[in-house]
Every structure is written in structure tokens, then in C-alpha cells.
Amino acid sequence: MNYSVFGHLNGIELSGIAFKEHVHKKKIIAQLSANKESTIPELADLLNISIPKVNELMVGLVEEGLVREAGQKTEGVGRKATSYSLNQSSCYFLGVEIKKYKINIGLMGFDKTIRLWRKS
């Protein structure tokens, strides 16, 4: 059974292999957040898991809409590896600062890009 990375917010409890896959997906998202783009072999090296397992997890994250293909890596010889990044429109973070006489609002995409910044 494939659970969303945010399934724990709906009260879903995971154990065994499902929990381990959930942790790996969160680590992949954290790595993509830190590095902007990564390939499957790079993620496998960084997270110390197999390339087929990372590929399986990435397919799930792409299906969930959290990750997208960002193109092909151009350096090196041989077949070009597909690069992945976070899908900026998959979720947003809203920040609100309330002061005595004004309100500041910021909206940030999943890939840490500022979508809206409003001072009043």
C-alpha cells in the first residue's frame, strides 16, 4: 500500500516497511529542498539506499505531485541522468506577521521560492 508523505497528518500510523519508505521519502524531500536538484544515483549515494529503491520512491513522489522531473544532467559521458526537483506548486507555506499597525504576509512555494510578499 502506498501512503502519502503527509499521511501522518490524517492519523495514518505506519509500521515496518511502510514506515521505512515514509522516512526515505521525507529524506528525499529534505535533500531536494537543500540541493534544489538531484539525480537518482546522487540520492542513492547520499541516503545510502539502492538505486532501484530510490527510483521506486521517486515514482511515488512524482505520482503524488510533490516532485517533478527537472531535465537532464549534461555533464559526464554516457546516458544523461534525469534530474528531479520539488514541485513548487504542490504545497505552499503561509507566513503572517501581525504588528500593532500593520500586517506582513508571505507565501512561499514548496521549493522555497517566494510567491507573494505583501506589507501593509
Domain count, the chain: 2
Instruction: Report angle CA 67, 38, 83 to the nearest 5 degrees.
Output: 70
Residue 1 forms part of a structural domain: no
Burial class (CB in 10 A: 0-12, 13-18, 19+), 34: exposed
28 and 68 share one domain: yes
Q: Is the model more confident about 114 or about 39?
A: 39
Helix (H, G, I), strand (E, B) or coil at 3: coil
Residue 2 forms part of a structural domain: no
37 and 64 share one domain: yes
In this predicted model, what pLDDT tens digit does every residue of 44-58 receive, in sequence order? Answer: 998 899 999 999 999
19 and 50 share one domain: yes
58 and 75 share one domain: yes
Residues 71-99: what's their mean pLDDT? 82
The percentage of residues in the chain with a pLDDT greater than 90, rounded to a whole number, is: 18
- The pLDDT, as a whole number, for residue 14 is 67
State yes or no: pLDDT of 1 exceeds 60. Answer: no
State yes or no: pLDDT of 2 exceeds 50. Answer: no
Domain that holds residue 36: 7-86
